[in-house]
Each structure stands twice: as C-alpha cells, then as structure tokens.
C-alpha cells in the first residue's frame, strides 16, 4: 500500500467523522431557543427530539442539515479517491466499493460521538440514512420503506429505526451479491457495524418499549425530561 492510498484511507475516516460531527439539532436549537437540545425532552440531539421540543420548522432545518452532511461526507470521499488515486469507489467492484461503507462507519461515529460537542451527539439514524442513499440508493430505500411501515403500524419512531438498522446489513449483502461485488462480505461486515451502533444507541428506547413507556409519534416530550 503506497502513501497515496494510506492518505486516502485516512481521509475516508477523518472527513466523514468531522463532517457528520456537525450536529444540526444542537445548532438549530441553540439558534431558536438558546438551549441545549441534549438537556431537553429525551436528551437526544436528533430530529425526533427537535420536533417534539422545538416544533416543525426547527425539525425541518435539522432534517435538511443531517441529510446534506450524510450525503456530502460520502461524496467527499468519492471525490478524494477519484482525484488522488483515479479510482471510482462506486463502480470498481471488489476493489474500492467497500470504502464507501468504511466511510459510513466513521460518519455514524462522528454524529454519535462528535468531537465538537464533548463526544455527545445524536443516535445517527437520519445522517446514516442519508449516507446509505449516497452509497447505494436502493440499499437505503429498502430499510426506509420498512421504517415507514413499522412506524405507521406501531407509531413508534424508535421501533422503526431499530428495525431498519437491523435490516440494513442484510440488504447490503444481498444487493452486493446480486451485483457480483467481490467485496460483498466486507460491505456486509462494515454495514453490520453501522447497524449495531445504531441499535446500541437505541438501548434506552428498547427498555422503554419493553416497559410500554416509550412515547409514540406525535406525543410531546416534557420540557425537562431526563434522558433515560
């Protein structure tokens, strides 16, 4: 492995981490109310908690911000590899496609444990979904459809998120195998890491789901409810 490849791999970790570490929910809430979203409602610096504590307009800005950073983090890595190594991380099957999922792992880490905010961020669902679309739109759409169905039936956003996170790695594996991608199992392993991280970040929600205390979609959070 030459110095250019090593540099590109380092940037494939650093760039997504730093870009996705910019937390839209924290910034929007600070601008709107001067408060820290991590001290409001569920304590999560994400879209759902912003919607419940700050309203629809603020949530819209968080939605746009998280989608943009998820997509841009993957496109930036793609551009770096194209510029430095002259390889296409999307279409060089079996050689470089796994780099996208590698970048996705660090994008999720950046959102969940951002260096800018004392390593306390959100749960990573929205930004990861955006990155999924940038990596392989079909692998992102399938878990999203499942998410929508689960939320529509149960009214639990957390349950939909957990289910989608669990389905995602297997969707990646199936599509990679269908594309005859030689790095199919590497893609699966890296996407499994992403899925496990997302489910782990919902461990408190899982406890509340089991005890029937989880709030359903549309329910307002108490202003100063402690994060569980």
The answer to whether residue 223 is domain-embedded is no
The answer to whether residue 179 is domain-embedded is yes
pLDDT value for 46: 87
Helix (H) or strand (E) holding 18: helix 3-20
The answer to whether residue 33 is domain-embedded is yes
- C-alpha 110/C-alpha 115 separation (Å) is 7
pLDDT digits (tens, 9 = 90+) for 71-118: 999 999 999 999 998 888 876 666 788 999 999 999 999 999 999 999
Instruction: Please tell me the total count of domains within the chain.
Output: 1
Helix runs in 21-156, H state only:
24-33, 47-54, 56-84, 98-112, 125-135, 137-154
* Radius of gyration of the chain from its Cα atoms, rounded to whole angstroms: 18
Q: What is the pTM assigned to this prediction?
A: 0.87
pLDDT value for 19: 96
* 151 pLDDT above the threshold of 50: yes
Cβ partners under 8 Å of residue 148, min gap 6: 160
On the 0-12 / 13-18 / 19+ scale of CB atoms within 10 A, 39 is middle
* 170 pLDDT above the threshold of 50: yes
Helix (H) or strand (E) holding 205: helix 203-210
The answer to whether residue 107 is domain-embedded is yes
Q: What's the mean pLDDT in 112-127?
A: 91
The answer to whether residue 215 is domain-embedded is no
Residue 154 domain boundaries: 3-210
The answer to whether residue 220 is domain-embedded is no
* 177 pLDDT above the threshold of 80: yes
**Pair 123, 44: CB distance under 8 Å:** yes
- C-alpha 162/C-alpha 223 separation (Å) is 25
pLDDT digits (tens, 9 = 90+) for 188-226: 999 999 999 999 999 999 999 999 999 887 665 544 343
- C-alpha 118/C-alpha 215 separation (Å) is 27
pLDDT digits (tens, 9 = 90+) for 9-49: 999 999 999 999 999 999 999 999 999 999 998 888 888 88
What's the number of CA atoms in the CB half-sphere (13 Å) around residue 223?
2
The answer to whether residue 225 is domain-embedded is no
The answer to whether residue 41 is domain-embedded is yes
pLDDT value for 189: 97
Q: What's the mean pLDDT in 179-185?
A: 91
* 228 pLDDT above the threshold of 70: no
């Amino acid at each position: 492995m030459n110095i250019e490849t090593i540099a590109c791999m380092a940037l494939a970790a650093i760039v997504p981490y730093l870009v996705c570490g910019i937390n839209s929910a924290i910034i929007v809430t600070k601008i709107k109310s001067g408060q820290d979203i991590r001290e409001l409602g569920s304590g999560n610096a994400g879209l759902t908690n912003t919607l419940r504590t700050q309203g629809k307009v603020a949530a819209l800005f968080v939605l746009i911000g998280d989608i943009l950073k998820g997509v841009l983090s993957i496109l930036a890595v793609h551009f770096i590899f194209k510029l430095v190594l002259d390889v296409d991380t999307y279409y060089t099957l079996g050689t470089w496609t796994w780099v996208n999922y590698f970048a996705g792992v660090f994008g999720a880490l950046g959102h969940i444990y951002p260096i800018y905010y004392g390593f306390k961020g959100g749960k990573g669902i929205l930004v990861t979904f955006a990155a999924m679309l940038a990596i392989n739109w079909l692998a992102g759409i399938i878990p999203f459809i499942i998410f929508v169905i689960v939320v529509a039936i149960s009214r639990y956003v957390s349950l939909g998120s957990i289910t989608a996170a669990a389905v995602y790695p297997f969707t990646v594996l199936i599509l990679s195998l269908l594309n005859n991608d030689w790095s199919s199992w590497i893609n699966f392993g890296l996407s499994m890491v992403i899925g496990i991280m997302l489910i782990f970040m919902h461990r408190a929600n899982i406890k509340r789901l089991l005890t029937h205390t989880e709030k359903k979609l549309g329910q307002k959070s108490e202003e100063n409810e402690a994060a569980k």
